[in-house]
Structures are given as structure tokens and as C-alpha cells.
Amino acid sequence: MPRNKGFFTKVKDFIVWNLVKALMRLIQAIPWSLLPRFSHWIGNTILKTMPRRKGIALNNLEIALGEGLSNIERENILKKSMSEVVLGGAEILRYLSHPPDSFLAKIDFQGKEYLDQALRQGRGVICFGAHFGNFPLMLMALANTGYPVFAITREPKNARLAHFFDRLKEQAGIGYISDKPKDICLRRALQCLRGNNILFLQIDLNVISGAVWAEFFGKLVPTYPGAVILALRTGAPLIPLFIYRRDTLFHKIVAGPPIPLDITGNKEKDLVKNLSRLNKVIEEFIRQDPTAWWWLHRRWRKARPLI
């Protein structure tokens, strides 16, 4: 049985990789003006092939935004969210073959002064965010305007995709730190901050191990504590960093003021309180533009009611 499982995994990876290659060729050939419509069609097609995952996403929308949304409204948010993911990937592929000015001219930056002030302290900067908007483009924009940017990421299991993404990261000018093994990830993250770099972490996905239960949309969910742990350990400022689409092919990066941390001496309670504060910031961005977030993830799979 294990041999069969390994064989089918290889076949699946091969099929996925070839579908990705075909999609990339299509994206490169399509005029810019047609990319949004193309992305909407691809996004809807993907949703139709994933009925179980679509059901999870619609349930997530009900948990987060309440029963006040009609079924049609939830469907529309999900469709727009999926098309945003596809369009974001298309933008990255197209922009990597053009000079940085081609995409920098389409991005506004609000709160740049918070990053500059934080970097002047010389302790590095921890930027926390979510799978919200075209975040790879946000990191590309920072890297191509002189900011030393690193991000903690998870490598895909598909070896071909992993190699492809590694090449994209190198081409984009962004430093990446793998989240595994954890001890090496922590060591590299600390080195990054000691070098006075920007370290970007996304804390919005479900965590299997090493999580802290923090509030998110009225539920307790397992939350990755790395951003708060690193901030408490190094004294590096903790800054929210997000991007949203303000027009069809135009974006706005938003950096907020540093988040003050509550430090009482009770490590467990401090982690819960501070992570809940970070989750609240993410929640506010999602409420402002729910179509920009990845609803397909099983964020509330292990959710508990508030005590």
C-alpha cells in the first residue's frame, strides 16, 4: 500500500506541475487588459473542482462574518477571493519579466515612516500579516525599493513546485526562511533581526503543533506565536503590514504603527493577550475587504468557544 501511495503522489505531483506550466504559458500570452477576466474564469473553474474545500470556505465566511450574509453574498465573496488569488499570481509572473518600475508605479505605500523609524532603532523589524491581498507583490515592492526583506515560509511538498518557487523568490529579491526544521528557522530568524532586516510572518493559518490559543473572530483558534515570541526576545518593533487592491491592477501597501506588547511576567497569559491583539488587527483588515483573504483554509477546524 505505501508503494502505491508513493506512486500516486508522484503522478499527482506530475499532473499538478504540468497544469501549472500550462497556466503560466497562458498567463504570459494574455494581454494585461484581459487578465482580470481570465483570473475570474480560472478561479471559478478551480472552485467547481473543489466542492469540499468550497464548503469549508463558505462555512468559514459564516463563522467570521455572521449569518447576516446571504448564501449568494458568501458565494460572491468566495468567487472574488479565488479570482484575486489567481490574478495575484498572474501579476507576479508578469512583473518578474519586467523592470521594477513597471509594478512600483502601480503601488501606493501608506505608513512607510513606521518602517523607517523602526529600522533606525537597529534591532530589526518584525512585520506580521496574513494571506491577504497580493502579499508576494508587497514583499517584492519592499525589496525593490531598498528594504532588506525576509519572510518565513513553508515549502510545498511537490518538489517541482518547490524548485520553481525557489527560483521566483531569488528573482524577486526576497530572502526566505523555511519554517522547518523549527530550531534552524528560529536561529535564522534571530540572525535576520540582528542584521537589522525586516522579517515578515503570516499568522493567520491553522497551526498543528506549538500553537497558542488566541481569539480570532469570536473564537479561540490555534495561532502561530513566533511573531510575539521574537518581539519579546529581541525587542524588535512589531508592525502590521498588509496590501490590498485599490483598483483592477493597482495596490496599496499599509504599514501600521508598532503594536505595544503587554508584559506582565506571566508568559502564557502574555502570549495569549498579545496574539489576540495581533489577530484583531488581521480581523479588521478582513472585515474591510473580505474578498482579499484566503477563505479556503480550515482556520476554524479546531476552534473553541471563548471562555
The per-residue pLDDT of the chain, averaged, comes to 93
Q: What is the DSSP string of 197-217?
A: -EEEEE--S--SSS-EEEEET
Contact, 131 vs 206, CB < 8 A? no
Determine the pLDDT at residue 146. Answer: 96
Q: What is the DSSP string of the chain?
A: -HHHHHHHHHHHHHHHHHHHHHHHHHHHHS-GGGHHHHHHHHHHHHHHT-HHHHHHHHHHHHHHH-TTS-HHHHHHHHHHHHHHHHHHHHHHHHHTTS-THHHHTTEEEE-HHHHHHHHTTTS-EEEEE-SBSSHHHHHHHHHTTT--EEEEE---SSHHHHHHHHHHHHHHT-EEEES-SHHHHHHHHHHHHHTT-EEEEE--S--SSS-EEEEETTEEEEE--HHHHHHHHH---EEEEEEEEEETTEEEEEEPPPPPPP--S-HHHHHHHHHHHHHHHHHHHHHH-GGGB-TTS-TTTT-EE--
Strand partners, 127: 200, 239
**For the whole model, what pTM was predicted?**
0.94
Report CA dihedral (160, 25, 153, 151) to the nearest 10 degrees: 140
Question: CA-CA distances (angstroms) from residue 78 to 87, 221, 303?
Answer: 14, 22, 21
Determine the pLDDT at residue 1. Answer: 44
Cell numbers 508592525 correspond to what residue? 239
Report CA dihedral (135, 139, 140, 141) to the nearest 10 degrees: 100
CA angle 297, 288, 141 (to 5 degrees): 75
d(CA 256, CA 298): 27
Question: CA-CA distances (angstroms) from residue 270 to 15, 213, 219, 231, 234?
Answer: 46, 12, 18, 12, 16
Residues of the chain with pLDDT under 70: 1-5
Strand partners, 110: 254
Contact, 163 vs 169, CB < 8 A? no
* Residue burial 85-104, b: 16+ Cβ < 10 Å; e: rest: bbbbbbbbebbeeeebeebe
Contact, 107 vs 252, CB < 8 A? yes
Determine the pLDDT at residue 302. Answer: 94
d(CA 267, CA 189): 21
Find, among 155, 163, 171, 136, the residue nearest to 20 by Cα.
163
Determine the pLDDT at residue 4. Answer: 61
